[in-house]
Amino acid sequence: MAVKRAWQRVDGVLLLDKPLGLTSNDALQKARRLFSAAKGGHTGTLDPAASGLLPLCFGEATKFSADLLDADKTYEAVVQLGVTTDSGDAEGQVIATAPVVVDEAAIRAALPQFTGPIEQIPPMHSALKHQGRPLYELARQGITIERQARAVTIHALELLNFSGDSFALRVHCSKGTYIRTLAADLGQALGCGAHLSALRRTTVGDLNLVHAITLAELETLDEATRSTRLLPVDALLQSLPRIDLDSTAAERFTHGNPVDLPPNLVGKIRVYAENHLLGTGQPGPDNRLWPKRLVQSAA
């Protein structure tokens, strides 16, 4: 008879180095079981065909997972020249091939036109929905839907290496950027077509892959050591301005009441008392700070 798992309250953030071939949700559930965490979530999906940084949230950290959805991200991408696929990546069907007559100078010359604010047409093989159905489902049925171009920002493009028929890029970009679309558009600009052959995410906001751990490494750790890999809940909020409240103001704030807002602070704010995160607040029209999301203290 199987032993029923004893789920427990676990609060924190795990920086996971997701392997290839695993969905973000599968990776989350595997990590959640290792921690016996009663509640878990992630901060935005990473495709099964991509590896790298996947921040996972447990317990109270799940309240702030949406704060990373708008964060900038960095990827290392490998672009295969001369082969165009219907999905824009290596998993799609080849729809065109062309000889590659491209040198490193041509690639460097093409990069500036894709740097800064640009517009991208989302690929059919994406999770965007049309009349409630993901586009990738329609694409698998051979259906193509007209998509509107979307504004994104490529903050920086760095050529890492060039090997004749492929090259590697480091891409620092805004949310909503499709790297496979960038690869295909670069191939078109270079006149030979291209697709994305490999992708690895290295940063999400202020979080970095160098501090991440793999599932295989987690499995080798005992429970006590494994727990040391969890970052505090506010690891997701480090880009927000911070205020510290005295005990009286903290009492008001944690009971859903506004507190005085220090000057020159705008937007969402992380709120502390005695170096303990209380939650996040949002300035109201009355120039006071109103609670937005509150952290529940451990029993």
pLDDT at 1: 46
Averages of pLDDT over runs of 10 residues in the chain (299 residues) are 73 97 94 95 88 96 88 97 92 93 97 96 65 64 72 97 96 94 96 97 96 97 95 93 95 95 87 96 90 82
Q: What is the pLDDT of residue 143?
A: 64
Residue tagged active-site, from 11, 47, 67, 89: 47
Give the pLDDT score at 86.
Answer: 87
Query: 12-71+206-235 maps to which CATH number?
Result: 3.30.2350.10
Class level of CATH domain 240-294:
mainly beta
Q: What CATH architecture applies to the domain 73-204?
A: 2-Layer Sandwich (3.30)
Tell me, yes or no, if 246 is annotated catalytic.
no
Global confidence as pTM: 0.90
Question: Are 12-71+206-235 and 240-294 the same fold in CATH?
Answer: no
What's residue 209's pLDDT?
97
pLDDT reported for residue 70: 85
The domain segmentation of the chain, as residue ranges, is 12-71+206-235, 73-204, 240-294
**Distance from C-alpha of 262 to C-alpha of 266, rounded to nearest angstrom:** 9
